[in-house]
Amino acid sequence: HVQLVESGGGSVQVGGSMRLTCAASPMAYRSQCMGWFRQAPGKEREAVAGVFLAGGSPRYADSVKGRFTISQDNAKNTLYLQMNSLRPEDTAVYYCAAKRTIGTWLRASDYTYWGPGTQVTVS
């Protein structure tokens, strides 16, 4: 059974930093890929960052490259998203997700497992 729970959201000023944490059940690490998505009001859910558990470089959306960093601590079954230089347009509910299918990391519909989300507000 895969469980994902995000934490670390809240309010931050423009230019500030925040770290999101995704506590994952051990079964999550049988996934092919884990990622962070976000959804702002009235907008579609979009991919932010992803990591393929078999290895390789992390992937980032163009809008967050150079500002966000995805990382994982396998010993703690935890996925992180470090967010720096935050902008008002980063305001959204952020979700941790995992998928077992191969292919692109970008498509939300490919992900089977989702956390409940955590709100990030930048103002």
pLDDT of 92: 98
Beta strands in the chain (DSSP E): 4-7, 10-12, 18-24, 33-39, 46-52, 59-60, 68-73, 78-83, 92-99, 113-114, 118-122
Whole-number pLDDT of residue 48 = 98
Q: What is the pLDDT along the chain (123 residues), one digit of tens a residue?
A: 889 999 999 999 999 999 999 999 988 878 889 999 999 999 999 999 999 988 889 999 999 999 999 999 888 889 999 999 999 999 999 999 999 988 899 999 999 999 999 999 999
- For β-strands 10-12 and 118-122, DSSP reports them as parallel
Which phi and psi (to 5°) does residue 26 adopt? Answer: -55, -30
Q: What is the pLDDT of residues 57-77, one digit of tens each?
A: 999 999 999 999 999 988 888
